[in-house]
Structure 1
Amino acid sequence: MRTATIETTHDDAALVAAALSPDNTSEMETTVEDGRVVTRIERETTSGLQSTVDDYVVNVGVAEQVVQTANQPANHNT
């Protein structure tokens, strides 16, 4: 079994983790630890692990952007 642990820091780690969790497979576990999002991934093959990590890294970037956008004050033109 191949494993990887990815740790990232965010202003709202719990919200980022919640945004990521729907994309987790049964081989992934995402938790929030001391303000960090920690994801552990297990795959049978190195290539499978690499593919999953690549996808996950993209998803983290998207989740972070969504959280930042959601936390911005609304700009209403009246």
Structure 2
Amino acid sequence: MHSRLYIAFHVQWILASFLEQSLHRIRPDITLDELGADSFDLVELQAIMEETFGIFIAEPLRAYVTFAELVELIYKTMANPPAPPH
């Protein structure tokens, strides 16, 4: 299992690349909305996170999710994966 630091590094890089933001702008308390993510971006970001980390995120990502909350969600999902839909 990956550490939170490993996950945070990769999520930060993914968000910076995908949303065309500076790595330095992505702080623990910044929301996806503040980074400029719209509803279409959220769907695509969720798919990228699932593919990158080999997980299934049961609930759709929301714009008000912070960077720190996203890292924690991925970490917990990797530890206790939900059953994918049939």
Question: So what's the TM-score if we normalise by structure 1?
Answer: 0.38
The structure richer in strand per residue is 1
The structure richer in helix per residue is 2
Question: So what's the TM-score if we normalise by structure 2?
Answer: 0.36
User: Greater CA radius of gyration, 1 or 2?
Assistant: 1
